[in-house]
Amino acid sequence: MLFSWIPERASDEPLYKQLAGHIAEMIGTGYFANGDKLPGQRVMADRLGLGRNTVIRALEELAKTGIISASPKSGVYIISRSAETAPDWDAYFRRANYRPGPDDYRMWRDKGDLRDLVLSREFDMLAYFKDAIAAAVTRADDITVMDAHGLPPLREAVVRHMKTSCGLDTTVDNVIICPSLDQSIYTLCAALMTGGGSLVHERATLINTVSNIHSLGLNMLPVGQDRFGMIPEELDKTLHGRSHAVMFTDPIAHSPTGITTTKRRQRELMKIISKYRLPVIENGHKRDLWCGKPFPPPMKSLPGSENIIYLGSLLKASMRLGVSWVVADRPFVEQLSTVLVQFSTIPSGLAQVLMDEMFRSGRYYEMMEDAWEFVHRRRVLALQLCERYLKDLARWDEKRCCFHFWIELNARLNKDKIYDAPNFFPGYFFDKSDSTHVLLTPPSLPEAALEATVKSIARLAR
């Protein structure tokens, strides 16, 4: 009965939902009993003529309702005869304040070789961190002097780093150590806004995939970009007549488009920012991974910088330390320290000491020089593969292709087919209205997987 089912491929309902509904119906009618084992993923995919990731996603839908249990070793078992007796967990989650992210995003997070858009494990970060780890262990006493603003030596290191890396003059009083990048963005927004506030951002943006941002109940207001950055006229029009808005911008090798906001465009945007007295969260997490030439200085270094809350991190090469930093006016730093304490999200003291050791010893800068070479090699290889397999099927701007390759296909994306190619992201993750782009991140993938991934994009584009 299971394998006699035929999916309705012309239906607007995704194939994974059709399959999940069919299996749930079979459980409800008693065809599958409590404790029965379902056929394997590959068997179902082959017998039903579906992609394996479509089957995986259908099973994940059923697992969310609590009627099946899945284990990599033992397989998938029925644990309830009917969904009617189990709580509708998904309905509870969607009514909760902390809402789940898009199902597609969770699937890409858990499948394949792509991991958080950071450097591939083929870049051996541990080799650079070993000495710092050994030194950090001997500095246990330093953790006891950490205050609500973070470890004092690390804050001093951040001041020096901002000066040498991008020419930004600041003081320790204007620096606060924060948790991981995603959590910091959420905390910054929570410190400035409540439900109903407006968050202005580039139209395609990584924060559209971050579920905790949406749990704040904000009005998400996208602004278009051109090749120079966010479009000033659109920003002005979006802000007109609005109060209590905050802007989030990713001006350096923007995620996902790769656009870097020019100096001239920065100045144009700063005029509008000053006009509306607009707080701005400037995300600088890719500043240390330049491609070809150093990036323009941060907006925080321009006149009127009291509006700018600069968020820095070692995101791309950090061994997931879960540490970032904020450079802002003193009143905001004091408020943020209170919010971090209330949220209990102060980063680990040991992680802060380790990060300080990386700066102090100079190993961080050695690592980033080598990381740049790693990214550059992957970029060259990816461009060759794109030229070989995608030349007549898609378009991309080589100048913006560095960590991120924002590729526009000549054809619209087929959402069902994309589930079988998990090593890149569809454009609609970042902009819900996008139906033609995909994001490829060559430095995040094993080199051996890169050619197969570009080939899968080519198949999708045909």
pLDDT per residue as tens digits for the range 205-254: 988 876 678 778 889 999 999 999 999 999 999 999 998 899 999 999 99
CB 119 within 8 A of CB 374: yes
State how far the alpha carbon of 383 is from the alpha carbons of 205, 232, 271, 400, 437, in Å: 23, 31, 37, 11, 16
Q: Report yes or no on 7 lying in a domain.
A: no
**Torsions phi, psi of 438, nearest 5?**
-135, 150
Low-confidence ranges of the chain (pLDDT < 70): 72-73, 80-86, 89-90, 97-116, 210-211, 292-293, 315-319, 416, 419-422
Please indicate, yes or no, whether residues 19 and 168 belong to a single structural domain of this protein: no
CB 50 within 8 A of CB 39: no
Rounded distance between C-alpha atoms, residue 427 and residue 429, angstroms: 5
State how far the alpha carbon of 2 is from the alpha carbons of 25, 72, 417, in Å: 10, 22, 22
Please indicate, yes or no, whether residues 438 and 417 belong to a single structural domain of this protein: yes
Last residue of a domain, which of 343, 359, 375? 359
For residue range 90-120, list pLDDT tens digits in order: 677 777 766 555 556 665 555 544 556 788 8
Please indicate, yes or no, whether residues 172 and 291 belong to a single structural domain of this protein: yes
Rounded distance between C-alpha atoms, residue 76 and residue 36, angstroms: 9
Which structural domain, as residue segments, surrounds residue 74?
A: 15-96
3-state secondary structure of 458: helix
Check residue 415 and give its pLDDT: 72
Q: Report yes or no on 143 lying in a domain.
A: yes
Neighbours of 130 (CB within 10 A): 11
User: Number of structural domains, the chain?
Assistant: 3
Check residue 82 and give its pLDDT: 52
Please, what's the largest Cα pairwise distance for the chain? 70
Name the nearest CA neighbour of 239 among 207, 202, 199.
199
CB 60 within 8 A of CB 41: no
Tokens 């990060």 locate to 355
Our measurement of the distance from residue 113's CA atom to the centroid of its chain's CA atoms, rounded to an integer in Å, reads: 15
What is the reported pTM?
Answer: 0.83
Please indicate, yes or no, whether residues 309 and 185 belong to a single structural domain of this protein: yes
Please indicate, yes or no, whether residues 216 and 301 belong to a single structural domain of this protein: yes
Take residue 133 and report the two structure tokens written for it. Answer: 């780890």
Check residue 453 and give its pLDDT: 92
CB 440 within 8 A of CB 403: no
Please indicate, yes or no, whether residues 212 and 278 belong to a single structural domain of this protein: yes
DSSP 62-118: HHHHTSEEEETTTEEEE--S-GGGS--HHHHHHHSSS----HHHHHHHHSSS--TT-
User: Regarding beta strands 405-409 and 225-226, do their DSSP bridges make them parallel or antiparallel, or are they unpaired?
Assistant: unpaired
